[in-house]
Amino acid sequence: MPGNMKYKSLRMKDHPLANRDGVVQEHRIILYDKIGPGTHRCHWCKVKIKWAPGKGPRRGAIVTDHLDNNGKNNKPKNLVPSCNSCNMWRSKKIQPEESFITLPSGIRSRTEIRYCKVCVKMFHHPLWAIKKNPVWGQCCSRSCDNILRWTMRKQKISNKIGYPVPMRNRDLQIEHANEEEEETESKGRKIRR
Ligand SMILES: [Zn+2]
Ligand SMILES: [Zn+2]
């Protein structure tokens, strides 16, 4: 959210999130009602965060994130808990030269351009996923990922037994390339029935 955006605040002295002046931002009240007190996970990177009264972002504290980037849309559906660092990079507008994907929800997520370790195809890897698990994002698809995992497992076994694991026909197939054909085939079968 733009830093200069004025959020609506309410005077609610007894609210658990009230600051020293007894003021709470409206979106924090609504999110608090939606998800409840205590510890939650960041909507983006899943790190554990908890409610802390008062303003001022701090480490480990819940920041209320407006999914549609509209600071005035305080509908519960539009509010999610976020850690401070995810909220920071979300609030900076994505520039045309930056890479991003548009999620089904319409939200844009920054990405890093990567090349698949199996089929070398270019793909977008979301930045929040890098934070969540740096090992992710080696492949463009689940089927390529399966191939990579199987290759690595075979390598491990080979190292253990001291000679290469014999190839089977199955290993030579690159499922990814056949995926589309298989799909049409199964659809065709359905129609025939
Ligand atoms: Zn986060
Ligand atoms: Zn691939």
Ligand 1 centre and the CA of 63: distance in Å? Answer: 10
Instruction: Find the ligand nearest to 146 CA.
Output: 2
Contact 178, 120 (CB under 8 A): no
pLDDT tens across 85-98, in order? 888 877 777 777 88
Looking at the chain, the whole-number percentage of residues with pLDDT higher than 70 is 80
Q: Which residue has the tokens 């030269």?
A: 97
How far is residue 142 CA from its own chain's centroid?
16
Mean pLDDT along residues 185-191: 45
Q: Which two tokens stand for residue 46?
A: 């899943």
Closest ligand to C-alpha of residue 119 is 2
How many Å apart are CA 124 and CA 139, to the nearest integer? Answer: 10
Rg of the chain's alpha carbons, rounded to an integer? 23
- Spatial CB neighbours of 157, under 8 Å, sequence gap ≥ 6: 165
Task: Kindly report whether the global pTM for this prediction surpasses the value 0.85.
Answer: no
Å from CA of 180 to ligand 2 middle: 14
> What local confidence, expressed as pLDDT, does residue 99 receive?
87
- Report CA(99)–ligand 2 centroid distance (Å): 19
Nearest bound ligand to the CA of residue 132: 1
State the CB neighbour count (10 A cutoff) for residue 134: 8
**What digits encode the pLDDT tens for the residues 145-168?**
999 999 999 899 889 888 887 766
Q: Is there a contact between 86 and 45 (Cβ–Cβ < 8 Å)?
A: yes
Q: What percent of the chain has pLDDT over 90?
A: 41
- Is the pLDDT at 29 greater than 90, yes or no? yes
**Integer Cα distance of 79 and 64 in angstroms:** 6
